[in-house]
Amino acid sequence: MRKAVIVAKRDQWTQVQLNIRARILTRDPIFNHRRVLALHHKHRFFDFDPGNLKDPWLQKAKDELRGSKGYCETNILLHRIFDCDCFARLVFQFRVAHAGQYRQSNREEGTGWPGFSNVLMAPDFICTACLEDARLTKYVLDKMMENSYPALQAGRTTPEKVKARADCVAPKYIAEFKAHPHVFEEQGNWNRASEGCRAP
């Protein structure tokens, strides 16, 4: 499928830069191109190539930042494995790269980007930039404690045993996620990481 590519004129670039700095919804952003670093990384920056995109599509992508962050915050999984500001940046990056997917329609429900669920299933929605070891380690422990709650209540295991298994699974889970950095691969990453660690 061919995609629309909109190129800013040479003399528009300075104004685009000023607009980005003034309006992007991030804290102390550092702009560059080609990749995204995690939100709290000391050299974090945002994949942004305005030469390929300008208003109104650029503004539409920026306007969606709040919505994509809210989607992350209310999703049963996403807010636990990602910083939702970082997730919103990844969605923004994806929208910029897929500007041609924005649909115009006479019907309100037919206008806009493909839904977030479509983004999560896209092969090029790669989450590496938002994979934080500390957050994923906490997620593994929390999930195992939740899954072990009946056994803990019945005295069939102890918090110490659950934590010991979480300590075994977490580094494997992180490694699997970095090797397979898609949201749709998360459950497979979990299963593979869990296989080599005994249940408490």
SS3 90: helix
More confident residue, 137 or 2: 137
pLDDT interval class at 99 (50, 70, 90):
confident
Q: Distance (Å, rounded) from C-alpha 176 to C-alpha 199?
A: 19
Q: Tell me the average pLDDT across 169-181.
A: 97
Give the tens place of pLDDT for each residue, 17-63. 444 344 433 433 333 333 444 444 433 434 444 446 667 767 777 88
CB under 8 Å to 25, separation ≥6 — which residues? 62, 65, 66, 88
Q: Please give the mean pLDDT across all residues of the chain.
A: 77
Give the tens place of pLDDT for each residue, 148-170. 999 999 999 999 999 999 999 99
Give the tens place of pLDDT for each residue, 136-152. 999 999 999 999 999 99
Question: What is the predicted pLDDT for the residue at 131?
Answer: 97
pLDDT interval class at 95 (50, 70, 90):
confident
